[in-house]
Amino acid sequence: RLRLHDGKLVKDRRYHLRTYPNCFVAKELTDWLIDHKEAPDRETGIRLMQKLMDHYIIHHVCDEHPDYKDAKLLYRFRKDDGTFPLTKDVKVFMRGQSLYEKLVSVEGSILKVREENSVKYQRTFLGCEMIDWLVQEGEAENRKEAVELGRALLEHGIIQHVSNRHHFFDSDNLYQFWINFRRRRRLTELLNENSSRTLSESPDSPFCLRKLNPDPGNTSFLSVQTNKEIKIVSAVRRSSITSLAGNSNPYFSTTPTLVFPPVAECNPKSVLKRPVTNEELLSPGAPYIKKTLTIVGDAVGWGFVVRGGRPCHIQAVDPGGPAAAAGMKVCQFVFSVNGMYVLHLDYQTISSLIMTGPRTLVMEVMEAIE
């Protein structure tokens, strides 16, 4: 959007005796995408813009065309006409981006490479340093408000304690930015997906396990689609048990942490050390912190398994999948899915909610403080 403004593609335009502010011509934009190597051809450019429409980022100026058409039609960024849906998650993300840009662009920034327990971490800061800076720069009126801002940033996965042991406090604990907002992203990343997701026919199916035919040594996860495939998974698990004696197995690069008994059909023993109730999770002073994870599914899913019920927990996470990249871990409890409170639901219902929802999954999880 900003590049199009700079290039004067977004401007006030007149059509049928009416002026439409801050809009662009679809055909011109498709040309621009190809010229600037954001899309290899017109078909890809159209698909990219349709993605932006599907996610409420752009729209036809009169909302007469629900699809993006490569024609002399006027479209506009919702950010330019005030119709962009600014949810709490989006507001926190944009606030985090603004603070990050401000911090990395000033001399003597508090963001530095620091070491803790012989491990070096990038873009780190002390909690008390961040509080001082936020108050000094007018980003917060007082230290209490600054702490609340820091906690919101941590819960939305923008910052984190370097060893993920603490929530955000006005202390000398070491934190870092988890997101590098300056990573150059290309629009074509939006297309690296398979939108045809359907819930497995098996009611016991781990809905978000990964590849059906994984590359050797890549992952211990398989997709499960039918009862026949469940038998295949069980067979793989049986062979993995015998491989622990030293024989090589292409599905595990190290000793596996997930070994499913052949009679369990993808229902491994719970990873929880003991049962946890909703009352225990939600009681005042409970040793749990709530985090918000934004997980963008790839062509083979999200890469995690949810199990249990009331509350559900994360049973397994593919170390190479989107969920792991977003900060998901086993033993976290699922608090909400795409804004819907789910602590009272079982895992089959939550699985269905995720599978029938958008590819970009926003989950709130509760994690025990070590």
Mapping DSSP onto H, E and C, the string for the chain reads CHHHHHCCCCEEEEECCEEEEEEEEHHHHHHHHHHCCCCCCHHHHHHHHHHHHHCCCEEECCCCCCCCCCCCCEEEEHHHHCCCCCCHHHHHHHHHHHHHHHHHCCCCCCCEEEEECCEEEEEEEEHHHHHHHHHHCCCCCCHHHHHHHHHHHHHCCCEEECCCCCCCCCCCCEEEECCCCCCCCCHHHHHCCCCCCCCCCCCCCCCCCCCCCCCCCCCCCCCCCCHHHHHHHHHHHHHHHHHCCCCCCCCCCCCCCCCCCCCCCCCCCCCCCCCCCHHHHHCCCCCEEEEEEEEECECCECCEEEEEECCEEEEEECCCCHHHHHCCCCCCEEEEECCEECCCCEHHHHHHHHHCCCCEEEEEEEEECC
Is 211 in contact with 302 (CB distance < 8 Å)? Answer: no
Residue 95 in tokens = 């606030």
pLDDT of residue 268: 60
C-alpha 308/C-alpha 177 separation (Å) is: 32
Mean residue pLDDT across the chain: 78
- Provide the pLDDT confidence category of residue 288 given band limits of 50, 70 and 90: very high
The domain ranges of the chain are 1-77, 88-177, 278-368
**Can you give the pLDDT at residue 193?**
54
Asked if the model's pLDDT at residue 95 lies above 80, the reply is yes
Using CA atoms, how far residue 332 sits from 164, 169, 296, in Å, is 13, 21, 18
pLDDT category, 225, cuts 50, 70, 90?
A: very low
Residue 262 has pLDDT above 60, yes or no: no
pLDDT at 267 over 80: no
Residue 370 has pLDDT above 80, yes or no: no
Say which residues have a Cβ less than 8 Å from residue 170's Cβ, sequence separation at least 6: 127, 128, 131, 143, 146, 147
Name residues whose C-beta falls within 8 Å of residue 283's C-beta, 6 or more positions apart in sequence: none
Q: What pLDDT sits at residue 99? A: 93
Pick the CATH number of 278-368 from 3.30.930.10, 2.30.42.10, 3.30.70.3340, 3.20.20.150: 2.30.42.10
Distances (CA, A) of 282 to 81, 198, 274, 286: 40, 33, 17, 7
- Same fold for the domain at 88-177 and the one at 278-368? no
Cα–Cα dist 254/269, whole Å: 20
Q: Give residue 90's Cα distance to chain centre.
A: 12
For the domain made up of 1-77, the CATH class stated in words is: mainly alpha
Q: How confident is the model at residue 367 (pLDDT cuts 50, 70, 90)?
A: very high
Distance CA 32, CA 45 (A): 9
Write out the two tokens for 323.
Answer: 């969920």
Q: What is the largest CA-CA distance in the chain?
A: 79
Q: What's the whole-number mean pLDDT along residues 15-43?
A: 92
Write the burial class of residue 160 (CB in 10 Å: 0-12 exposed, 13-18 middle, 19+ buried): buried
Is the pLDDT assigned to residue 202 strictly greater than 60? no
222 pLDDT higher than 50? no
Of 295, 297, 296, 303, the C-alpha closest to 321 is: 303
Q: Does the reported pTM lie above 0.85?
A: no
Q: How high is the pLDDT of residue 131? A: 96
Mean pLDDT of the 161-186 span: 86
**Strands 312-317 vs 304-308: parallel, antiparallel or unpaired:** antiparallel
* Range 175-184 average pLDDT: 82
CB atoms within 10 A of CB 110: 14
Q: For position 259, what pLDDT does the model report?
A: 33
For 88-177, the fitting CATH number among 1.10.10.10, 1.10.510.10, 3.40.50.620, 3.20.20.70 is 1.10.10.10
